[in-house]
Chains A and B, each alone.
Chain A
Amino acid sequence: MIGTGLLKGLAVTARNFLGSFHDPRRFVTTQYPEERTVLPEAYRNFPFLVSESADDPMGTLRCVACQICEKECPPQCILIEKSADKKPDANGKMQIYPAVFAIDTSVCMSCQICVEVCPFDAIKMDQVFELATTNRFGGLLLDREALAKPDSYFHRIHPTEAAEVEARLAAGRKAAQDKARAAAAPKAAPAASAPSVQPPAAPVAEAPPPPGTAA
């Protein structure tokens, strides 16, 4: 009979319409901004700079102004100017820091390549998307102060990734400390071998690290 296809279709529409009053599968609208969807951990929007501590964000930036992200950024939205002086980083090494670090979020396409190429885990992807501003020419330009957020924030928004970064950085710090200790030990050994009956000096690289040093 002609019209059976239409009737079947109307049955589907009716099922969806009536179902939308009680079945969450059929009514899928989120009433933003009163309700918010839970974003997955991997969600990324614009980047932010990681500071080790929240008390001194500018002083504890992990970024050493190597400018790799600036070169690799496809739309070239990052501007970095190196500082003239140096500051100690988390490992105690003197590093330059960025005097200017600006990202133009009207150009940034959130592709995450800057995060992938950063050798220092200094730039990570943020999840804030409510960045609308009324100033068209400068309001979307985020400078160092606006970009820097503490490491605790990074742990909160990307817990899995932050745990992995933390483990890697801790391993790096431990390796640096072991190397420093191994380099310092030969200086102590010649002083210890005085001309008296003494057992020969133990091999210098053998000193085991005391537990709990890596922190």
Chain B
Amino acid sequence: MSAADPSLLASAPGPQIRAVRDEFHGDLLEVSMGPHHPSTHGVFRMMATLDGETVVKLKPVFGYLHRNHEKIGENTTYLGSMPYTDRLDYFCAMTNNWAYALAVERLAGQAVPERAEYLRVILAELTRLLNHTCLAGFLLQDCGASGTPLMYAFREREKILDLFESLSGSRMMCNYQRFGGCRVDPPPGWLEAAGRLVGGYGGFLDEYEALLTGNEILMARTQGIGRLAAPLAISAGVTGPMLRASGVDYDLRKVDGYGFYPRFAFRVPLGAHGDTYDRYMIRMLEMRESIRILEPALRDLPAGPIIDPKARLRGFRAKPGEAYGRIEGPKGEIGFYLISTGGPNPYRYRVRPPSFVNLTILEDLCLGHSIADAVVILGSIDIVLGEVDR
């Protein structure tokens, strides 16, 4: 067997401990940035070994929010698992729903009408807007800007959540996609409200970027921090804005062309340095591209059925077989792998969570930086523990 590339196994336990400088006769300090922490984006624990303030070893520990989602999926019908997918990445319920519906539709060979596909694109891009806006807010919160950018972000997110509420009945736990389409048609006035929101979002982004992008403190704290090289990113299975910030052109909306994304003209921004500032900028640019998708989608939404007439709601069964369906969620590639043996429940129900796989290189990124930078790096990876632990 050929030798593995050692740079790719940086997280293996072994001679990671640097020699401690003799003049201070210091010891290494092991800090548990424990599960209860305002900056760990959920119940997430980092066992950091510090030499002074510099991280020499960092092991992520999670599982505190493990709720058995996959085993519940084996004991629940296909339809019954849909509300549970809302709760995976609880910020982005609409995209989780779509990924699961896509996987089941691929498993069963179920067609989807045009109107439903357009609506799915609209809701996925609205979700991308709210996720990236919140990420900018959380990242700034981690840098210490205690509240202002976050609250501006939440103020805009509320408008999108109001849209979701008037469409699906719930702000976050939408449970909106079904196998073969969407659950219910947008009520009268919804499309106009969405159009107004999207029209005003560019102005909000201009103001938000005036607040943040040129800010010297943000640049000092994020430029050059947590550089992720492209080969490591590809090997570690990193997807989403984090991968594109390292310069790799891989966006599932372009690669797989699922849904009706090929009908929309949008660009894929790529980063040049792969550091935290690039990850932040990529998300701001992606929001602008999302607006360029939303405007024609809302304008050209076709009339028609909202769900395929042949789709079954209760007693949905799929022929024996398996399928892996994936979409470009706001955090990366979210995929569902389903094995059916012909019964009402799937035999194996697996979620491929983007945050979980993106955490593989957390230690690599943090080595050599200070513990304060580790918080910022974790913020830029954009994890949600609901997805990491399932």
Hey, which bits of chain A sit against chain B, CB under 8 A? 2-6, 8-9, 11-13, 15-16, 28, 39-44, 68, 72-74, 109-113, 116-117, 125, 160
- Establish whether residues B165 and A74, one from each chain, have CB atoms under 8 Å apart when the complex forms: no
User: Whole-angstrom distance from the CB of B166 to the nearest CB of chain A?
Assistant: 4
B76 sits at the interface (CB 8 A): yes
* Assembly CA distance A125 to B169 (angstroms): 9
Contact with A along B192-217 (1 / 0, CB 8 A): 00000000000000010011111111
- Establish whether residues A116 and B313, one from each chain, have CB atoms under 8 Å apart when the complex forms: yes
Of the residues A2, A5, A15, A74, contact of B80 by C-beta under 8 Å: A74
B314 sits at the interface (CB 8 A): yes
User: Whole-angstrom distance from the CB of B87 to the nearest CB of chain A?
Assistant: 8
Of the residues A41, A43, A68, A110, contact of B314 by C-beta under 8 Å: A68
* Assembly CA distance A59 to B309 (angstroms): 36
B113 sits at the interface (CB 8 A): no
How many chain B residues sit at the interface, stated as a range, is: 35 or more
Q: Which residue of B lies closest to A44 (CB)?
A: B169
* Assembly CA distance A4 to B217 (angstroms): 11
Given known A-B contacts A6-B216, A6-B217, A9-B215, A72 and B80 have beta carbons under 8 A apart: yes
Contact with A along B27-65 (1 / 0, CB 8 A): 000000000000000000000000000000000000000
Q: Quick one: which of B58-88 are within 8 Å of A by CB?
A: 76-77, 79-84
* Assembly CA distance A77 to B117 (angstroms): 33
Extra pairs beyond A6-B216, A9-B212, A74-B76 (17, CB < 8 Å): A5-B213, A5-B219, A6-B215, A9-B211, A11-B210, A28-B155, A39-B165, A40-B162, A40-B166, A42-B187, A43-B165, A43-B170, A44-B169, A68-B314, A74-B80, A113-B83, A160-B187
* Assembly CA distance A12 to B145 (angstroms): 14
Q: Which residue of A lies closest to B206 (CB)?
A: A12
* Assembly CA distance A74 to B80 (angstroms): 5
Interfacial chain B residues near A16, Cβ < 8 Å:
152
* Assembly CA distance A72 to B314 (angstroms): 8
B127 sits at the interface (CB 8 A): no
Contact with A along B252-293 (1 / 0, CB 8 A): 000000000000000000000000000000000000000000
* Assembly CA distance A109 to B87 (angstroms): 10
Q: Which residue of A lies closest to B213 (CB)?
A: A5
